[in-house]
Amino acid sequence: GQSLEQPSEVTAVEGAIVQINCTYQTSGFYGLSWYQQHDGGAPTFLSYNALDGLEETGRFSSFLSRSDSYGYLLLQELQMKDSASYFCAVEAMTGGFKTIFGAGTRLFVKA
């Protein structure tokens, strides 16, 4: 089967750095995506990794290790507006091309 694990909650202070980990089990792995969702809103795309290594986009970076079935999202210079839920999602070719989302990590940023 397919499964993803990520922490349910993380709390950090404004200006700090936080890392949200994601481990996955799936066949037909294609890539790992990260999405942000504010309360009452729709998910918005942050990053996608298909190859091992670090992908940097402004204050956000995403890392993938295919051999360890592991990835993380790194948020730097945290701002209050970063308080949201963050989802990792596996893109996999398994009985067709599918996206499987994790349960999400709720990030609370404190002043």
Q: Which residues are near other proteins by CB under 8 A?
A: 30-31, 33, 35, 41-45, 47-51, 55, 57, 87, 89, 91, 95-104
CB of 64 vs other proteins, minimal distance in Å: 9
Query: How far is the C-alpha of 94 from the C-alpha of 92, rounded, in Å?
Result: 6
Q: How many CB atoms lie within 10 A of CB 44?
A: 10
For other proteins, which is the closer residue by CB, 13 or 61?
Answer: 61
3-state secondary structure of 89: strand
- Residue 20 tokens read as 């949200």
Query: Cβ of residue 104: shortest distance to other proteins, in angstroms?
Result: 5
